Amino acid sequence: MKTSPSAPRQWEQLLALTFAHAVADTYVGLIAPILVPMRDHYGVSFALLIFVVSLLGFSSNIFQIFIGHLQTALTRPDLISAGVLLAGLAVFIPVLPAGPFCVVWMSLLALLSGLGVAAVHPEGLRALHGLDKIPASLTTSIFMVSGFMGFAGGAILSSTLTEHFGLGSLVWLYAIAPVAAGTLFLSGLRLPVDTAHGEKPGAPARPENIPGIPFAPLFLIAAVLATSSQIQATLLPSYLHGEAGYSLSFSGFSFTLFGLGGMAGAIFWSLLAPRLGHLGVLFYTALAGAPLTALYLAVAPLTVSAAGLLAFAGFIVYTGFPLCITLARYADSSLRFGTRMGLISGGSWGIAALVMWGIGPLTAHTGLGLLLHLIWIGYLVAALMTFRLMRQLQK
């Protein structure tokens, strides 16, 4: 029987995998922070541009459900590498020629780029399951946080490049895609064959005392958290630049700070979750995230130092989504592992994108600032749902 790689080798493979994930999600995060310059350049409504951004998010997530369901025996990371290359097409969205059909072409590129991003997630999560010499909570958090860090990092990249060199400068970023794909290929990473619960022979069913939780409520909690994150990622940079009056680069930098805080927090809380209880950490971080976010929105227009509070809010609240992923890996469900991963990582964000389609037309009537309060309301709802689930499991 073929033995799994050593722990140091698995760490190398995890880093290559997370780099590919970060690069793919960076491309998704490039467009939302530059909606104001795109609106001015193309002369189209803000609602239509939100539709393009939401379509990119929707396709990069909804396709995960089908990929997670269909791919069961592929052991090489070829699909992940191809996905990163396809995801890079997003850099061409803001450089298309202006014209009456520019939004149509933007939407087509968004669909193709989203398909590439979708290929990375369920296959990447399946790859994590083969890294059995690293704690499951830690691998999940590192993988998920790398994606969100890439997504948040895309904000400062696109806003800074656009501010100094114009929208056309974003095409330079495509060069990162083949680097990420090549690094993953050279790592020698292999994916375990999918089973009903993603278990390998002889491996413990639920390491680190991870409880068996029904999949459906986990999915709903993840969808609420994803919706809050989607609203923040899509509207916050444009609000800071267009309504609060900050520079384009600072607006992108602020969201990147949230990602940095989220990265540190997700790793910190993932190390504590096996001892404190995964659901308990999920509940308290979501509950604390609500007033922190509300406070940030109150002071954000008044001082640049509010960005520090946003980073701290990310440290507290972002860990909820990776914890949902960890719990879903070992959830009580008849669904195959790949299907569960496709739903929890893709379906939840697909729902978030649908919500954004509904919010987009409202921006012309309410402005962005009022709609941003849906973020902390979502965190509060997620906390209440988690508390209800904890009470049900105690009975």
Q: Locate 374 and state its tokens.
A: 């849906």
Identity at 119, one-letter amino acid code: A
The pLDDT score that the predictor gives to residue 70 is 64
| Domain parsing of the chain, residue ranges | 7-394
Structural contact between residues 170 and 161, judged by C-beta atoms closer than 8 angstroms: yes
Q: List pLDDT tens digits, range 284-293.
A: 999 999 999 9
DSSP 206: S
- For residue 207, with 0-12 CB atoms within 10 Å meaning exposed, 13-18 middle and 19 or more buried, which class applies? middle
In terms of Cα–Cα distance, which of 123, 107, 20, 125 is closest to 57? 107
Strand partners, 332: 214
Confidence at 95, pLDDT banded by 50, 70, 90: very high
Task: Please count the other Cβ atoms lying within 10 Å of the Cβ belonging to residue 165.
Answer: 11
Q: List pLDDT tens digits, range 28-39.
A: 889 989 999 999
Matching residue, tokens 């999920």: 282
Q: What's the start-to-end Cα distance of the chain, in Å?
A: 43
Structural contact between residues 126 and 304, judged by C-beta atoms closer than 8 angstroms: no
- For 7-394, CATH number? 1.20.1250.20
CA distance 150 to 186: 21
CA distance 344 to 31: 24
Q: List pLDDT tens digits, range 262-321.
A: 888 888 888 888 888 888 999 999 999 999 999 999 999 999 999 999 999 999 998 888
The DSSP-derived string for 249-265 is HHHHHHHHHHHHHHHHH
What's the pTM?
A: 0.78
The pLDDT score that the predictor gives to residue 157 is 92
The pLDDT score that the predictor gives to residue 23 is 95
Q: Where is mean pLDDT largest: 71-80, 213-222, 356-365?
A: 213-222
27-65 as b/e: b if 16+ CB within 10 A: bbbbbbbbbbbbbebbebebebbbbbbbbbbbbbbbbbb
